[in-house]
A and B are shown apart, each in its own frame.
Chain A
Amino acid sequence: MARRARILRYFTYALLAGAALFLGYALHLDLRVQDEFEGRRFALPARIYARPLEIHAGLRIAPGDVEDELRELGYRVGGKDSESGWFAKNGNELDVAVRPFMFWDGAQPARRFKITFDAGAVTSLRAEGREIPLARLEPLHIGGIYPAGNEDRVLVRLSDVPKHFVDELVATEDRKFFSHLGFDVRAMGRAAWSVVRAGRTQGGSTITQQLVKNFFLTPERTLKRKFNELIMAVLLEMHYGKDEILETYLNEIYLGQDRDRAIHGVGLASQFYFGKEVQQLTVAESATLVALVKGPGIYDPRRFPQRALDRRNLVLRETRELGSISPEQFMSARAAPLGVVPKPLVGTSPFPAFLQLVHRQLRRDYDEKDLRSEGLRIFTSLDPRVQGAAERALAKRLAQYEKEKRFGPPGLEGAVVVSDPQSGEVQAVVGSRNARYRGYNRALDAARPVGSLLKPAIYLTALSEPSRYTLITPVDDGPFVWKSRGAPDWKPENYDKKFHGQVPLRVALAQSYNAATARLGTDIGLEKVLATVKKLGIDRELRPYASTLLGAAEMSPFEVAQMYQTIASGGFRSPLRAIREVTTQEGRPLQRYALNVEQAFAAEPIYLITAAMQGVVREGTGQGLRNFLAPELAAAGKTGTTDDQRDAWFAGFTGDRLAIVWIGYDDNRAARLSGAAAALPIWGDLMAAVAPEPLQLAKPERIEEVWIDPQSNLRGDSGCPGAVELPFMQGSAPAERAPCATAVGGAVDAVDNTVKKAKSWLERIFGR
């Protein structure tokens, strides 16, 4: 070391003697080198993960879905006992060797388990022959928040990198690396000569020079840059050891491109090309990566397998020539296939709309700079299966609509938001029919009139006063005029351009009658309705106009999801969350976004409005869903259509999913859209694809179910044709019995007993 430093000093002195100017220049470069290299920390993007798939006996999932998830994680089919990151299928059994992963709550080691399936569900989960309660797959990496240039990397230590990797790199790129002073005179000479002679440039840079070039210099190929590169390489070698230089090089080197994401460093490249950690790279795989150093585009093993194979074998030959690998190693490596895994669907993210939501929620708590450089790990609630189903449902239907020219000219757009109704976790966000498009995010940013989607808020307000309103209270759907000073009269019409006279409240909602709703809303009072909307979770101030009642109010699909979330979770408001946890790069927990609930409404009116929304699907404007979902699922929902049929909405929920679908034109043009015809099929496709659970409501104590004769709206029983069982707040159901009721005596108990025998769909579902 000392000898080398002395030589270097003499070398520097010699240059000094040559030109005083040069001294200043070299000092300037030296400061720069030390400054930047010393304080050099690679900017690491925040890494964003989907939810991990939790496997346990009883989980409803098809084996194919687990296999898909494993494939997306880059798992191979079949593998050795000593390795992880593979799975094997034997009949109805899946054998999985999971890779180690650092979860928010600690490290999970590599482990092996067997999943047995039957009839679309997991029946048993075993590890080492014993039943285990739970197993987590590692979560899918779904994107990041990247530093400038969208550089992505996973840092590795030199000690993690296999020796054969370094041998191959040195053999191919810089044979004298461990002995030179930062440059290789002969290689330099060759490069200079080729410029002078043929005007062509040629390699010949040492590893140190390559690092300097990537770190400090612009990519232009001039003699001046070559000169700077040389000086700086020497300076770098003066200050730092070979190991430090090599380690930095291995983390810096550019090795590929994943759409707009740049793959840097051998750590990430191992995952990107081979789905494994750098420690596990074989001699052949390492050689494929070393081959990429010369040109990641030209030698891309996925796009140009033959070229990549030839170059890999060249790397292997050069390494054998130096004696770093044995002839046997050479022979078996050369015989090995390239073995790259299929390209993961990432880029900077395959789910830009969801990522945008995550990014916005993160920005409340973190600096943008930290997000782009600190390598934070962000665990989200995205469910890739649900996201995929939502994307496909939207894209497929919009393409079909355009082909059939049913609703208007081409250019129809849409958005979908899906959440877990119990926890408020967002499972999917689609911001455009082209889900990979990272532009205008309609799910979050398109504020559109919500039309009839606001109606449940009006009916909920009414049902909160059980002494005035029940599900069968008659409301007047006659012509309605609202006069207010300074504004033209407001005369809402119904979708079918007819008026329907006195109708029960639940029918007015199920059929989405505008005149009845406008009358109901103004009877209760606009202020009360707006207070309900606020309590449902809408922060936006709605204008206190009567037209707001019929959905002139504008909201984004995400806001609508928040509003329906509060209803779906039994009146408990939980802010919609996309993030579960944040840890440092090493896995130290930084922050947890806890499940917070707040009771915004009493259980009873929520139960009633939900029953009414189930009526929408069962017999109202949402009954088209019967073409998609079994009636036993008892989904609750609401259609929405706006003036001049510019927007189509469907909002609703099952037991385990809440989804909002919006479609319309970006320029807000008049069309022929309607919630039932245009948005509902997308909602139906989406739900059918994710096999939802039935909507089971927790019945509050003060709710009683009473059979009602639809003709008289009085207490009925099995003797009344079309009798329906409806929930009532205790004491609010009619006392009088309908003429058709056959039970003798009139005691309510007797009615209940008679009715119980007639198995209704409600009974079948709720098991009462």
Chain B
Amino acid sequence: MRYAILVLALAGCASQTPAPVSTPGPEPAPPPVVQAPAPVPSTPGVPPVLRPAARESTAIASLMDSARADAGGGRLSNAAATLERALRIEPRNPRLWSELARVRFQQRDYTQAESTALRSESWAGKDNLLRADNWRLIAAARDARGDTDGARTAREAAQRFEK
């Protein structure tokens, strides 16, 4: 049952149009800000975080865009490869680690999803929005592995950062 919910959540995630990280033309329509929906406590799932991050360098932004396009199109292995490529350029970028964690989740590698999100945590500093995302993802990953207690702890952590 839990898995069914997760799959639905993932399907919802996949069908979302990725928000571009880079701003394309000279007259940019403001990139659509997809805000993470308020978490519904009873339905663990991955929040589709596709927040545009203006501070990325153009190289990183272009790789993030193409990773998101790949992930959106279900080419998860390509998305992961592209994010790793970006991480070789900026290994301390917590947003890249977080995106990679999200792809790992979609690949249903919940152990890697969690530890990769934790890797993002170590560089996240005061980016509370990102940290809340990470902990929600960790909660979902723990749920998927059947670790209900751990998931609850993670959700509590997420809520602390949402404030």
Q: Are B58 and A131 in contact (CB under 8 A)?
A: yes
Q: Are A698 and B123 in contact (CB under 8 A)?
A: yes
> Which residues of the other chain, A, contact B112 by a CB distance below 8 angstroms?
594, 596-597
Q: Are B89 and A594 in contact (CB under 8 A)?
A: no
> Which residues of the other chain, A, contact B92 by a CB distance below 8 angstroms?
422, 696, 698
Q: Are B58 and A700 in contact (CB under 8 A)?
A: no
Give chain B interface residues in 58-94, CB to chain A under 8 Å. 58-59, 61-63, 77-78, 80-82, 84-85, 87-89, 91-92
Q: How far is the CA of A494 from the CA of B11 in the complex (A)?
A: 63
Knowing A134-B62, A592-B77 touch, does A599 contact B123 (C-beta < 8 A)? no
Q: Are A133 and B58 in contact (CB under 8 A)?
A: yes
Q: Which residue of A is nearest B118, CB measured?
A: A599
Q: Are B88 and A134 in contact (CB under 8 A)?
A: no
Q: Is B134 an interface residue (CB 8 A)?
A: no
Digit string of A586-624 for contact with B (CB within 8 Å is 1, else 0)?
Answer: 000100101111110001000000000000000000000
Nearest Cβ in chain A — how far from B163, in angstroms? 16
Q: Are A105 and B82 in contact (CB under 8 A)?
A: yes
Q: Is A58 an interface residue (CB 8 A)?
A: yes
Q: How far is the CA of A59 from the CA of B59 in the complex (A)?
A: 10
Q: How far is the CA of A656 from the CA of B90 in the complex (A)?
A: 10
Q: Are A56 and B59 in contact (CB under 8 A)?
A: yes
User: Total number of A-B contacts with CB less than 8 angstroms?
Assistant: 78
Contact for A589 among B61, B77, B88, CB less than 8 A: B77
> Which residues of the other chain, B, contact A59 by a CB distance below 8 angstroms?
89
Contact for B81 among A56, A57, A581, A696, CB less than 8 A: A581
Q: Are B59 and A422 in contact (CB under 8 A)?
A: no
> Which residues of the other chain, A, contact B89 by a CB distance below 8 angstroms?
54, 56, 59
Nearest Cβ in chain A — how far from B57, in angstroms? 6
Q: Are B57 and A656 in contact (CB under 8 A)?
A: no
Q: Is B116 an interface residue (CB 8 A)?
A: yes
Q: Is A144 an interface residue (CB 8 A)?
A: no
Knowing A54-B85, A54-B89, A656-B91 touch, does A603 contact B58 (C-beta < 8 A)? no
Q: Which residue of A is nearest B22, CB measured?
A: A133
Q: Is A570 an interface residue (CB 8 A)?
A: yes
Digit string of A123-143 for contact with B (CB within 8 Å is 1, else 0)?
Answer: 000000001011000000000
> Which residues of the other chain, A, contact B145 by a CB distance below 8 angstroms?
none
Give chain A interface residues in 392-422, CB to chain B under 8 Å. 420, 422
Contact for B59 among A57, A420, A570, A599, CB less than 8 A: A57
Give chain A interface residues in 129-186, CB to chain B under 8 Å. 131, 133-134
Nearest Cβ in chain B — how far from A303, in angstroms? 40
Give chain A interface residues in 561-581, CB to chain B under 8 Å. 570, 572, 580-581
Q: How far is the CA of A59 from the CA of B82 in the complex (A)?
A: 18
Q: How far is the CA of A589 from the CA of B80 in the complex (A)?
A: 14
Q: Are B115 and A595 in contact (CB under 8 A)?
A: no
> Which residues of the other chain, B, contact A54 by a CB distance below 8 angstroms?
59, 85, 88-89
Q: Is A104 an interface residue (CB 8 A)?
A: yes
Knowing A133-B62, A134-B59, A592-B77 touch, does A422 contact B122 (C-beta < 8 A)? no
Q: Is B119 an interface residue (CB 8 A)?
A: yes
Contact for B88 among A105, A423, A596, CB less than 8 A: A423
Nearest Cβ in chain A — how far from B134, in angstroms? 13
Q: Are B82 and A700 in contact (CB under 8 A)?
A: no
> Which residues of the other chain, A, contact B61 by a CB distance below 8 angstroms?
133
Task: State how many residues of chain A have any CB contact under 8 Å with chain B.
Answer: 31
Give chain A interface residues in 6-56, CB to chain B under 8 Å. 54, 56
Digit string of B12-29 for contact with A (CB within 8 Å is 1, else 0)?
Answer: 000000000010000000
> Which residues of the other chain, A, contact B111 by a CB distance below 8 angstroms?
598
Nearest Cβ in chain A — how far from B113, in angstroms? 11
Q: Which residue of A is nearest B126, CB measured?
A: A701
Q: How far is the CA of A54 from the CA of B115 in the complex (A)?
A: 27
Contact for A597 among B59, B77, B81, B119, CB less than 8 A: B119
Q: Are A594 and B80 in contact (CB under 8 A)?
A: yes
Nearest Cβ in chain B — how far from A580, in angstroms? 8
Give chain B interface residues in 25-71, CB to chain A under 8 Å. 57-59, 61-63
> Which residues of the other chain, A, contact B100 by a CB distance below 8 angstroms?
595
Q: Are A105 and B59 in contact (CB under 8 A)?
A: no
> Which residues of the other chain, A, contact B87 by a CB distance below 8 angstroms?
422-423, 595
Q: How far is the CA of A581 from the CA of B111 in the complex (A)?
A: 22
Q: Are A56 and B57 in contact (CB under 8 A)?
A: yes
Q: How far is the CA of A104 from the CA of B77 in the complex (A)?
A: 11
Q: How far is the CA of A104 from the CA of B78 in the complex (A)?
A: 9
> Which residues of the other chain, B, contact A597 by a CB distance below 8 angstroms?
112, 115-116, 119
Q: How far is the CA of A134 from the CA of B56 in the complex (A)?
A: 13
> Which residues of the other chain, A, contact B91 by a CB distance below 8 angstroms?
420, 422-423, 656
Q: Are B58 and A57 in contact (CB under 8 A)?
A: yes
> Which residues of the other chain, B, contact A105 by a CB distance below 8 angstroms?
78, 81-82
Q: How far is the CA of A56 from the CA of B86 in the complex (A)?
A: 11
Nearest Cβ in chain A — how far from B84, in angstroms? 5
Most buried by A among B61, B85, B88, B123: B88
Q: How far is the CA of A596 from the CA of B112 in the complex (A)?
A: 7
Q: Are A57 and B88 in contact (CB under 8 A)?
A: no
Knowing A572-B115, A597-B116 touch, does A104 contact B59 (C-beta < 8 A)? no
Q: Are A595 and B59 in contact (CB under 8 A)?
A: no
Knowing A420-B91, A570-B122 touch, does A592 contact B81 (C-beta < 8 A)? yes
Nearest Cβ in chain B — how far from A259, in angstroms? 31
> Which residues of the other chain, B, contact A572 by a CB distance below 8 angstroms?
115, 118-119, 122
Give chain A interface residues in 88-141, CB to chain B under 8 Å. 104-105, 131, 133-134
Q: Are B57 and A58 in contact (CB under 8 A)?
A: yes
> Which residues of the other chain, A, contact B122 by a CB distance below 8 angstroms?
570, 572, 603, 698, 700
Q: How far is the CA of A66 from the CA of B125 in the complex (A)?
A: 35
Q: How far is the CA of A105 from the CA of B100 in the complex (A)?
A: 17
Most buried by B among A420, A595, A698: A595
Q: How far is the CA of A412 from the CA of B77 in the complex (A)?
A: 46
Nearest Cβ in chain A — how far from B92, in angstroms? 7
Give chain B interface residues in 103-139, CB to chain A under 8 Å. 111-112, 115-116, 118-119, 122-123, 125
Q: Are A420 and B81 in contact (CB under 8 A)?
A: no
Q: How far is the CA of A698 from the CA of B91 in the complex (A)?
A: 12
Q: Which residue of B is nearest A591, CB measured?
A: B77
> Which residues of the other chain, A, contact B57 by a CB distance below 8 angstroms?
56-58
> Which residues of the other chain, B, contact A698 by a CB distance below 8 angstroms?
92, 122-123, 125
Q: How far is the CA of A589 from the CA of B87 in the complex (A)?
A: 21
Knowing A597-B116, A599-B115 touch, does A423 contact B58 (C-beta < 8 A)? no
Q: Which residue of A is nearest B85, CB measured?
A: A54
> Which residues of the other chain, B, contact A696 by a CB distance below 8 angstroms?
92
> Which residues of the other chain, B, contact A596 by a CB distance below 8 angstroms?
112, 115
Q: How far is the CA of A105 from the CA of B67 in the complex (A)?
A: 11
Q: Which residue of A is nearest B104, CB measured?
A: A594
Q: Which residue of A is nearest B87, CB measured?
A: A423
Q: Are A134 and B115 in contact (CB under 8 A)?
A: no
Nearest Cβ in chain A — how far from B124, in angstroms? 9
> Which residues of the other chain, A, contact B84 by a CB distance below 8 angstroms?
423, 580, 594-595
Name 11 extra pairs, CB < 8 A, besides A420-B91, A599-B119: A56-B89, A58-B59, A423-B91, A570-B122, A572-B115, A595-B84, A596-B115, A597-B112, A598-B111, A599-B115, A698-B123
**Interchain residue pairs A-B with the least CB separation, the first 6:** A422-B91, A56-B59, A133-B62, A133-B58, A698-B122, A134-B59
Q: B residues bordering A, Cβ < 8 Å?
A: 22, 57-59, 61-63, 77-78, 80-82, 84-85, 87-89, 91-92, 100, 111-112, 115-116, 118-119, 122-123, 125
27 pairs from A and B in contact (CB 8 Å cutoff): A54-B59, A54-B88, A57-B57, A57-B58, A105-B78, A105-B82, A131-B58, A133-B58, A134-B58, A134-B59, A423-B88, A425-B88, A570-B119, A570-B122, A572-B118, A572-B122, A580-B81, A589-B77, A592-B77, A592-B81, A594-B84, A596-B112, A596-B115, A597-B119, A656-B91, A696-B92, A698-B125
